[in-house]
Structure 1
Amino acid sequence: MAKGKSFSEIIKGDQPVLVDFYATWCGPCKMMQPILAETAGKVGAKAKIIKIDIDKNPMAASRFQVKSVPTLVLFQKGKVIWRKSGVVPANQLVDVINKQATVNS
């Protein structure tokens, strides 16, 4: 996460923020790591991508009703604009982020 900024400050920005709610013990979560890296490479500065460990941050997981991991949530200006649980392919994540970036530009 960005140094010195809280989770709520990060998700309230104009830039879309894709949050990967994960757990270290979760196999599918480990599969998301290279997918998120590929997504970050393709979207560049259009969006931030951050990871939240639900075991270390149970309040954040509870606040956004994360019932299973991985759960991906796209925020913009503090609002949830998209969410999906399970492994999501990079091309789908890129499409979602690009649509959001186009809508708000």
Structure 2
Amino acid sequence: MSEFTDIIKSSKPTLVDFYATWCGPCKMMHPILEQVKEKVNESATIVKIDVDKNQDLSAQFRVQSVPTLIIFKDGEVKWRAAGVHTADDLEKKLKEFA
């Protein structure tokens, strides 16, 4: 938990994907997040959190559906959305907060 807190307190944007292994749309997000990671390189961090293994963290951020994507910067939530998003949309969002 403290490691997660350290990551989201970064001055560079951090995209957190709250997902579940049994979730179809979550599986669709995996290759999209890989594309985003390639495009943004070191300018942003991408983290995946399994909601079933991290129930306290999921509850803390009120994750009610998966996938839920949240962008943090300096420990603050800057953007959040549920569902599948395109690599281009996520890249633009991350650059907006860079």
1:52 aligns with 2:44: no
Q: Describe the SS at the equivalent of 1:6.
A: helix
Aligned to 1:64: 61
Aligned to 2:6: 9
Identity %: 52
Q: TM-score scaled by structure 2?
A: 0.96
User: How far off its partner does 1:99 sit?
Assistant: 1.1
Show structure 1 runs of 5+ residues with no match.
Answer: none
Aligned to 1:22: 19
Runs of 4+ in 1 over 6 A off after TM superposition: none
User: How far off its partner does 1:95 sit?
Assistant: 0.4
RMSD: 0.8
Pick one of 38, 59, 62 that aligns with 2:35: 38
1:79 partner amino acid: E
Show structure 2 runs of 5+ residues with no match.
Answer: none
Q: TM-score scaled by structure 1?
A: 0.90
Aligned to 1:96: 93
Q: How many pairs does the alignment contain?
A: 97
For residues 3 and 52 of structure 2, what CA distance do their matches in structure 1 show? 18
